[in-house]
Protein backbone atom coordinates (compact mmCIF):
# COMPACT_ATOMS: atom_id res chain seq x y z
CA UNK A 1 0.00 0.00 0.00
CA UNK A 2 2.67 2.43 1.00
CA UNK A 3 4.73 1.88 -2.14
CA UNK A 4 1.64 2.51 -4.23
CA UNK A 5 0.93 5.84 -2.63
CA UNK A 6 4.59 6.78 -2.96
CA UNK A 7 4.46 6.06 -6.67
CA UNK A 8 1.39 8.24 -6.91
CA UNK A 9 3.15 11.08 -5.16
CA UNK A 10 6.10 10.85 -7.52
CA UNK A 11 4.04 11.27 -10.66
CA UNK A 12 1.51 14.02 -10.15
CA UNK A 13 -1.13 13.80 -12.83
CA UNK A 14 -2.19 16.86 -14.80
CA UNK A 15 -5.57 16.69 -13.12
CA UNK A 16 -3.87 16.75 -9.76
CA UNK A 17 -1.85 19.82 -10.70
CA UNK A 18 -4.96 21.58 -11.92
CA UNK A 19 -6.78 20.69 -8.71
CA UNK A 20 -3.91 22.02 -6.64
CA UNK A 21 -3.78 25.21 -8.64
CA UNK A 22 -7.53 25.66 -8.18
CA UNK A 23 -7.19 25.04 -4.45
CA UNK A 24 -4.40 27.62 -4.24
CA UNK A 25 -6.50 30.10 -6.16
CA UNK A 26 -9.35 29.50 -3.76
CA UNK A 27 -12.98 28.66 -4.34
CA UNK A 28 -14.37 32.11 -3.44
CA UNK A 29 -12.02 33.78 -5.89
CA UNK A 30 -13.24 31.43 -8.62
CA UNK A 31 -16.82 32.30 -7.73
CA UNK A 32 -16.11 36.01 -7.75
CA UNK A 33 -14.21 35.93 -11.01
CA UNK A 34 -17.01 33.99 -12.72
CA UNK A 35 -19.61 36.35 -11.21
CA UNK A 36 -17.68 39.30 -12.57
CA UNK A 37 -17.44 37.83 -16.07
CA UNK A 38 -21.06 36.70 -15.96
CA UNK A 39 -22.25 40.16 -14.95
CA UNK A 40 -20.32 41.68 -17.84
CA UNK A 41 -21.79 39.18 -20.29
CA UNK A 42 -25.27 39.85 -18.91
CA UNK A 43 -24.74 43.58 -19.22
CA UNK A 44 -23.76 43.00 -22.83
CA UNK A 45 -26.85 40.86 -23.45
CA UNK A 46 -29.09 43.55 -21.98
CA UNK A 47 -27.56 45.97 -24.43
CA UNK A 48 -26.05 48.19 -21.81
CA UNK A 49 -23.30 50.68 -22.40
CA UNK A 50 -20.27 48.55 -21.53
CA UNK A 51 -17.54 51.15 -22.20
CA UNK A 52 -19.28 53.65 -19.94
CA UNK A 53 -19.52 51.01 -17.22
CA UNK A 54 -15.91 50.17 -17.63
CA UNK A 55 -15.05 53.82 -17.11
CA UNK A 56 -17.03 53.76 -13.87
CA UNK A 57 -15.23 50.61 -12.75
CA UNK A 58 -11.90 52.32 -13.39
CA UNK A 59 -13.02 55.31 -11.40
CA UNK A 60 -14.14 53.27 -8.39
CA UNK A 61 -10.92 51.29 -8.68
CA UNK A 62 -8.97 54.51 -8.20
CA UNK A 63 -11.31 55.73 -5.46
CA UNK A 64 -10.95 52.67 -3.27
CA UNK A 65 -7.45 51.64 -4.35
CA UNK A 66 -5.37 53.48 -1.78
CA UNK A 67 -7.62 52.40 1.08
CA UNK A 68 -7.16 48.79 -0.06
CA UNK A 69 -3.42 49.37 -0.43
CA UNK A 70 -3.36 50.32 3.26
CA UNK A 71 -3.93 46.64 4.05
CA UNK A 72 -0.51 45.64 2.69
CA UNK A 73 1.72 47.10 5.41
CA UNK A 74 -0.62 45.97 8.17
CA UNK A 75 -0.87 42.39 6.94
CA UNK A 76 2.85 42.18 6.13
CA UNK A 77 3.90 43.54 9.51
CA UNK A 78 1.87 40.82 11.20
CA UNK A 79 -1.12 42.62 12.68
CA UNK A 80 -3.40 41.13 10.03
CA UNK A 81 -6.13 42.87 8.01
CA UNK A 82 -6.57 46.30 9.52
CA UNK A 83 -10.29 46.70 10.25
CA UNK A 84 -9.32 49.76 12.26
CA UNK A 85 -8.40 51.66 9.10
CA UNK A 86 -11.28 53.85 10.32
CA UNK A 87 -8.73 55.48 12.64
CA UNK A 88 -6.73 56.63 9.62
CA UNK A 89 -9.86 57.67 7.75
CA UNK A 90 -10.83 59.87 10.70
CA UNK A 91 -7.39 61.48 10.63
CA UNK A 92 -7.87 62.19 6.94
CA UNK A 93 -11.30 63.67 7.57
CA UNK A 94 -9.85 65.96 10.22
CA UNK A 95 -7.13 67.01 7.78
CA UNK A 96 -9.75 67.71 5.12
CA UNK A 97 -11.87 69.81 7.46
CA UNK A 98 -8.82 71.87 8.48
CA UNK A 99 -7.81 72.29 4.83
CA UNK A 100 -11.29 73.63 4.06
CA UNK A 101 -11.04 76.06 6.96
CA UNK A 102 -7.65 77.21 5.66
CA UNK A 103 -9.08 77.70 2.19
CA UNK A 104 -11.95 79.85 3.48
CA UNK A 105 -9.45 81.83 5.56
CA UNK A 106 -7.70 82.68 2.30
CA UNK A 107 -4.48 80.73 2.76
CA UNK A 108 -4.53 79.46 -0.83
CA UNK A 109 -5.69 82.71 -2.45
CA UNK A 110 -2.29 83.36 -4.04
CA UNK A 111 -2.85 80.39 -6.39
CA UNK A 112 -4.82 81.61 -9.37
CA UNK A 113 -4.85 78.49 -11.53
CA UNK A 114 -8.02 76.50 -10.72
CA UNK A 115 -6.39 73.07 -11.16
CA UNK A 116 -3.41 74.01 -9.04
CA UNK A 117 -5.75 75.47 -6.43
CA UNK A 118 -7.62 72.16 -6.17
CA UNK A 119 -4.45 70.13 -5.98
CA UNK A 120 -2.93 72.44 -3.36
CA UNK A 121 -5.97 72.18 -1.10
CA UNK A 122 -5.96 68.40 -1.56
CA UNK A 123 -2.26 68.23 -0.74
CA UNK A 124 -2.81 70.36 2.36
CA UNK A 125 -5.56 67.99 3.44
CA UNK A 126 -3.33 64.99 2.78
CA UNK A 127 -0.36 66.42 4.70
CA UNK A 128 -2.49 67.36 7.69
CA UNK A 129 -4.42 64.09 7.50
CA UNK A 130 -1.24 62.00 7.37
CA UNK A 131 0.12 63.97 10.33
CA UNK A 132 -2.90 63.23 12.54
CA UNK A 133 -3.27 59.68 11.26
CA UNK A 134 0.38 58.88 11.94
CA UNK A 135 0.12 59.98 15.56
CA UNK A 136 -3.08 58.02 16.08
CA UNK A 137 -1.66 55.09 14.10
CA UNK A 138 1.42 54.87 16.30
CA UNK A 139 -0.71 54.83 19.45
CA UNK A 140 -3.03 52.31 17.85
CA UNK A 141 -0.03 50.16 16.92
CA UNK A 142 1.20 50.20 20.52
CA UNK A 143 -2.23 49.04 21.62
CA UNK A 144 -2.23 46.24 19.04
CA UNK A 145 1.14 45.03 20.33
CA UNK A 146 -0.54 44.24 23.62
CA UNK A 147 -3.36 42.20 22.09
CA UNK A 148 -1.40 39.83 19.85
CA UNK A 149 -3.64 37.09 18.51
CA UNK A 150 -6.88 39.07 18.78
CA UNK A 151 -5.97 42.06 16.62
CA UNK A 152 -8.94 41.70 14.29
CA UNK A 153 -11.76 41.74 16.87
CA UNK A 154 -10.01 44.49 18.81
CA UNK A 155 -9.38 46.61 15.73
CA UNK A 156 -13.05 46.49 14.70
CA UNK A 157 -14.21 47.92 17.99
CA UNK A 158 -11.29 50.33 18.36
CA UNK A 159 -12.34 51.67 14.95
CA UNK A 160 -15.98 51.95 16.01
CA UNK A 161 -15.03 53.67 19.27
CA UNK A 162 -12.77 56.13 17.50
CA UNK A 163 -15.64 56.85 15.11
CA UNK A 164 -17.94 57.49 18.06
CA UNK A 165 -15.45 59.87 19.69
CA UNK A 166 -15.04 61.74 16.43
CA UNK A 167 -18.82 62.01 16.09
CA UNK A 168 -18.67 64.16 19.21
CA UNK A 169 -15.69 66.06 17.78
CA UNK A 170 -17.58 66.76 14.54
CA UNK A 171 -20.58 68.00 16.50
CA UNK A 172 -18.51 70.33 18.70
CA UNK A 173 -15.64 71.51 16.48
CA UNK A 174 -15.81 75.28 16.00
CA UNK A 175 -15.66 76.11 12.28
CA UNK A 176 -16.41 79.25 10.29
CA UNK A 177 -16.77 77.99 6.71
CA UNK A 178 -20.37 77.98 5.53
CA UNK A 179 -19.98 74.76 3.52
CA UNK A 180 -19.03 72.95 6.74
CA UNK A 181 -21.63 74.21 9.18
CA UNK A 182 -24.93 72.45 9.63
CA UNK A 183 -27.43 75.13 8.57
CA UNK A 184 -30.24 73.91 10.82
CA UNK A 185 -28.43 74.44 14.11
CA UNK A 186 -25.65 76.85 13.06
CA UNK A 187 -23.01 74.74 14.78
CA UNK A 188 -21.38 71.38 14.19
CA UNK A 189 -20.46 69.82 10.87
CA UNK A 190 -22.81 68.65 8.13
CA UNK A 191 -23.41 65.01 7.29
CA UNK A 192 -22.11 65.61 3.79
CA UNK A 193 -19.65 68.35 2.98
CA UNK A 194 -19.66 69.65 -0.57
CA UNK A 195 -16.11 69.89 -1.92
CA UNK A 196 -16.81 71.91 -5.07
CA UNK A 197 -15.05 75.00 -3.65
CA UNK A 198 -12.19 72.90 -2.37
CA UNK A 199 -10.52 69.81 -3.73
CA UNK A 200 -13.54 68.14 -5.31
CA UNK A 201 -12.32 66.50 -8.52
CA UNK A 202 -8.78 67.83 -8.01
CA UNK A 203 -7.15 64.66 -9.34
CA UNK A 204 -10.18 63.35 -11.26
CA UNK A 205 -10.08 66.33 -13.57
CA UNK A 206 -6.37 65.92 -14.22
CA UNK A 207 -5.37 64.18 -17.51
CA UNK A 208 -8.95 63.09 -18.02
CA UNK A 209 -9.79 61.76 -21.49
CA UNK A 210 -12.53 59.89 -23.32
CA UNK A 211 -12.29 56.74 -25.41
CA UNK A 212 -15.72 56.53 -26.97
CA UNK A 213 -18.09 56.39 -23.99
CA UNK A 214 -15.37 55.34 -21.61
CA UNK A 215 -14.03 58.09 -19.37
CA UNK A 216 -10.52 57.47 -18.11
CA UNK A 217 -9.53 59.58 -15.12
CA UNK A 218 -5.83 59.17 -15.57
CA UNK A 219 -5.02 61.65 -12.79
CA UNK A 220 -6.90 59.61 -10.23
CA UNK A 221 -5.43 56.34 -11.44
CA UNK A 222 -1.92 57.83 -11.53
CA UNK A 223 -2.15 58.78 -7.87
CA UNK A 224 -3.21 55.23 -7.08
CA UNK A 225 -0.44 53.71 -9.19
CA UNK A 226 2.21 56.03 -7.75
CA UNK A 227 1.16 54.99 -4.25
CA UNK A 228 1.35 51.33 -5.28
CA UNK A 229 4.80 51.89 -6.77
CA UNK A 230 6.05 53.63 -3.63
CA UNK A 231 4.68 50.81 -1.51
CA UNK A 232 6.33 48.27 -3.82
CA UNK A 233 9.66 50.07 -3.48
CA UNK A 234 9.27 50.34 0.28
CA UNK A 235 8.53 46.64 0.58
CA UNK A 236 11.80 45.95 -1.24
CA UNK A 237 13.81 48.32 0.92
CA UNK A 238 15.76 47.08 3.92
CA UNK A 239 13.13 48.40 6.31
CA UNK A 240 10.30 46.86 4.31
CA UNK A 241 12.05 43.49 4.26
CA UNK A 242 12.56 43.68 8.01
CA UNK A 243 8.91 44.50 8.49
CA UNK A 244 7.78 41.56 6.37
CA UNK A 245 10.15 39.27 8.25
CA UNK A 246 8.72 40.42 11.57
CA UNK A 247 5.25 39.64 10.27
CA UNK A 248 5.86 36.26 8.69
CA UNK A 249 8.09 34.75 11.36
CA UNK A 250 8.36 36.82 14.55
CA UNK A 251 10.54 34.34 16.42
CA UNK A 252 13.09 34.14 13.61
CA UNK A 253 13.00 37.90 13.11
CA UNK A 254 13.63 38.46 16.80
CA UNK A 255 16.56 36.05 16.68
CA UNK A 256 18.09 38.02 13.82
CA UNK A 257 17.93 41.20 15.83
CA UNK A 258 14.78 42.80 14.45
CA UNK A 259 12.61 44.68 16.93
CA UNK A 260 9.34 42.95 16.08
CA UNK A 261 7.10 45.21 18.15
CA UNK A 262 8.59 48.32 16.55
CA UNK A 263 8.06 46.83 13.07
CA UNK A 264 4.43 46.16 13.90
CA UNK A 265 3.99 49.75 15.04
CA UNK A 266 5.62 50.90 11.81
CA UNK A 267 3.26 48.76 9.74
CA UNK A 268 0.20 50.01 11.60
CA UNK A 269 1.32 53.62 11.29
CA UNK A 270 1.89 53.36 7.54
CA UNK A 271 -1.43 51.59 7.11
CA UNK A 272 -3.26 54.22 9.12
CA UNK A 273 -1.54 57.08 7.29
CA UNK A 274 -2.53 55.51 3.97
CA UNK A 275 -6.09 55.41 5.27
CA UNK A 276 -5.95 59.20 5.60
CA UNK A 277 -4.61 59.60 2.06
CA UNK A 278 -7.16 57.12 0.79
CA UNK A 279 -10.22 58.87 2.17
CA UNK A 280 -9.14 62.23 0.72
CA UNK A 281 -8.63 60.70 -2.72
CA UNK A 282 -12.00 58.98 -2.31
CA UNK A 283 -13.74 62.20 -1.26
CA UNK A 284 -12.24 64.31 -4.06
CA UNK A 285 -13.54 61.83 -6.62
CA UNK A 286 -16.93 61.51 -4.94
CA UNK A 287 -17.24 65.30 -4.65
CA UNK A 288 -18.41 65.12 -1.05
CA UNK A 289 -16.82 64.37 2.28
CA UNK A 290 -19.14 62.10 4.25
CA UNK A 291 -18.92 62.67 7.99
CA UNK A 292 -20.19 60.94 11.15
CA UNK A 293 -21.02 57.23 10.78
CA UNK A 294 -20.47 57.03 7.00
CA UNK A 295 -17.07 55.27 7.16
CA UNK A 296 -18.13 52.78 9.84
CA UNK A 297 -17.92 49.73 7.58
CA UNK A 298 -15.23 50.91 5.14
CA UNK A 299 -12.81 48.69 7.06
CA UNK A 300 -14.80 45.59 6.15
CA UNK A 301 -14.99 46.64 2.51
CA UNK A 302 -11.27 47.16 2.09
CA UNK A 303 -10.34 44.00 3.99
CA UNK A 304 -12.66 42.02 1.73
CA UNK A 305 -11.18 43.70 -1.34
CA UNK A 306 -7.62 42.68 -0.57
CA UNK A 307 -8.73 39.14 0.34
CA UNK A 308 -10.59 38.82 -2.97
CA UNK A 309 -7.37 39.77 -4.73
CA UNK A 310 -5.65 36.75 -3.27
CA UNK A 311 -4.22 37.96 0.01
CA UNK A 312 -4.53 35.94 3.19
CA UNK A 313 -4.59 37.26 6.73
CA UNK A 314 -0.83 36.59 6.81
CA UNK A 315 0.41 37.71 3.40
CA UNK A 316 -0.57 40.47 0.96
CA UNK A 317 1.07 41.68 -2.25
CA UNK A 318 0.54 44.79 -4.33
CA UNK A 319 -0.91 42.59 -7.05
CA UNK A 320 -3.64 41.39 -4.65
CA UNK A 321 -4.56 45.02 -4.06
CA UNK A 322 -4.80 45.81 -7.77
CA UNK A 323 -6.79 42.69 -8.62
CA UNK A 324 -8.99 42.72 -5.51
CA UNK A 325 -9.97 46.37 -5.70
CA UNK A 326 -10.74 45.96 -9.40
CA UNK A 327 -12.90 42.82 -9.06
CA UNK A 328 -14.79 43.97 -6.00
CA UNK A 329 -15.62 47.38 -7.41
CA UNK A 330 -16.26 45.89 -10.80
CA UNK A 331 -18.99 43.64 -9.48
CA UNK A 332 -20.65 46.35 -7.42
CA UNK A 333 -20.49 48.94 -10.17
CA UNK A 334 -22.15 46.72 -12.73
CA UNK A 335 -24.61 45.14 -10.29
CA UNK A 336 -26.54 48.37 -9.72
CA UNK A 337 -27.61 49.23 -13.29
CA UNK A 338 -27.99 45.54 -14.10
CA UNK A 339 -30.29 45.00 -11.11
CA UNK A 340 -32.31 48.03 -12.14
CA UNK A 341 -32.92 46.40 -15.52
CA UNK A 342 -33.34 42.80 -14.43
CA UNK A 343 -35.16 43.28 -11.13
CA UNK A 344 -36.67 46.77 -11.27
CA UNK A 345 -38.96 46.04 -8.31
CA UNK A 346 -36.24 45.06 -5.89
CA UNK A 347 -34.47 47.87 -4.06
CA UNK A 348 -31.07 47.46 -2.49
CA UNK A 349 -29.63 44.62 -4.58
CA UNK A 350 -26.09 46.12 -4.57
CA UNK A 351 -26.31 46.48 -0.79
CA UNK A 352 -27.22 42.79 -0.43
CA UNK A 353 -24.44 41.78 -2.79
CA UNK A 354 -21.98 43.99 -0.96
CA UNK A 355 -22.89 42.47 2.41
CA UNK A 356 -22.71 38.91 1.14
CA UNK A 357 -19.48 39.26 -0.85
CA UNK A 358 -17.67 41.38 1.75
CA UNK A 359 -18.47 39.23 4.71
CA UNK A 360 -18.46 35.92 2.88
CA UNK A 361 -14.87 36.38 1.76
CA UNK A 362 -13.76 37.47 5.24
CA UNK A 363 -15.41 34.43 6.80
CA UNK A 364 -13.70 32.20 4.26
CA UNK A 365 -10.31 33.73 5.05
CA UNK A 366 -10.89 33.36 8.79
CA UNK A 367 -11.84 29.71 8.53
CA UNK A 368 -8.76 29.07 6.37
CA UNK A 369 -6.41 30.97 8.67
CA UNK A 370 -6.99 29.12 11.90
CA UNK A 371 -8.71 25.97 10.70
CA UNK A 372 -9.39 23.68 13.64
CA UNK A 373 -6.54 24.85 15.81
Partner 1 sequence: MTQDVFYNKVREIFFENKVVIMFAVICLFAFYHSGMTTTMFFNELFTRFGRNTFMVLSLLIPVVAGLGLNFGIVLGAMAAQIAMFLIVLWGGSGLLGIFWVALLATPIAIVFGYLVGRMFNSMKGSEMIGGMVTALFADGFYQFLFLFVFGGVIPIAATRLMIPTGVGVLNAINIGDSPNYMRQVIDNVSMLEILNVSFIAAIAFTAGMLIYKLAKKQPITLRGEGGFSKILLFLVPLTLAYIASFVIMPFLFFLYQDRLNGLVGVRLGAVTLALYNIYQIVQSKFVLKQETTPVRYYIYLGVAALLYAITLNTIIYSGLEHVGVPVFTYLLIAGLCFFIKWFMNTRLGQNMRTAGQNRAVATAAGINVDRTRVIAMIMSTLLASYGQIIMLQNFGVMSTYGSHTQVGLYAIAALLVGGATVSRASVKHAIMGVLLFHSLFILAPFASANLMGSALIGEYFRFFAANGVIAIALVMHAWQRTTKRKAVTA
> What residue ranges bind partner 1 (CB under 8 A)?
83, 143, 146-150, 152-154, 156-158, 160-161, 163-165, 167-168, 171-172, 185, 188, 297, 300, 343, 345-349, 351-356, 358-360, 362-363, 366-367, 369-373
- Residue among 181 and 366 whose Cβ is closer to partner 1: 366
- Residue among 142 and 218 whose Cβ is closer to partner 1: 142
- Residue among 122 and 263 whose Cβ is closer to partner 1: 263
Least distance between partner 1 and beta carbon 87 (Å): 12
- Residue among 106 and 149 whose Cβ is closer to partner 1: 149
Least distance between partner 1 and beta carbon 153 (Å): 4
The C-alpha R_g of the chain, in whole angstroms, comes to: 22
- Residue among 54 and 83 whose Cβ is closer to partner 1: 83
Q: How far is CA 270 from CA 106, 127, 216, 266, 324, in A?
A: 31, 14, 29, 6, 20
- Residue among 29 and 354 whose Cβ is closer to partner 1: 354
Least distance between partner 1 and beta carbon 276 (Å): 21
Q: Using H for helix, E for strand and C for coil, what is the string for the chain?
A: CHHHHHHHHHCCCHHHHHHHHHHHHCHHHHHHHHHHHHHHHHHHHCCCCHHHHHHHHHHHHHHHHHHHHCHHHHHHCCCCCCCCHHHHHHHHHHHHHHHHHHHHHCCCCCCCCHHHHHHHHHHHHHHHHHHHHHHHHHHHHHHHHCCCCCHHHHHHHHHHHHHHHHHHHHHHCCCCCCCCECCCCCCCECCEEECCCCCCCCCCCCCEEEECCEEEEHHHHHHHHHHHHHHHHHHHCHHHHHHHHHHHCHHHHHHCCCCHHHHHHHHHHHHHHHHHHHHHHHHHHHCEEECCCHHHHHHHHHHHHHHHCCCCCCCCCHHHHHHHHHHHHHHHHHHHHHHHHHCCCCCCHHHHHHHHHHHHHHHHHHHHHCCCC
Least distance between partner 1 and beta carbon 186 (Å): 11
- Residue among 36 and 300 whose Cβ is closer to partner 1: 300
Least distance between partner 1 and beta carbon 352 (Å): 5
Least distance between partner 1 and beta carbon 211 (Å): 35
Least distance between partner 1 and beta carbon 160 (Å): 4
Number of neighbouring beta carbons within 10 Å of residue 307:
28
- Residue among 68 and 303 whose Cβ is closer to partner 1: 303
Least distance between partner 1 and beta carbon 240 (Å): 26
Amino acid sequence: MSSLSEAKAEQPSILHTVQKAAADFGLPRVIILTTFIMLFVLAGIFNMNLPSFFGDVLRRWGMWGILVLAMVPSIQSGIGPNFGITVGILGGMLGAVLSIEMRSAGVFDFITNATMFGISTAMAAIVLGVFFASIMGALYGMLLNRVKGSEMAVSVYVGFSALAIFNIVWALIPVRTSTLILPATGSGLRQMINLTDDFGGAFDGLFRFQIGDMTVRLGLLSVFFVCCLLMWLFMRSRLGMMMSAAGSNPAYARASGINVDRMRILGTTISTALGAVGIIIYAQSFGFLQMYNAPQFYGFTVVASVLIGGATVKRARIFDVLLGAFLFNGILTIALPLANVMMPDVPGVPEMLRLIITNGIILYALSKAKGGR
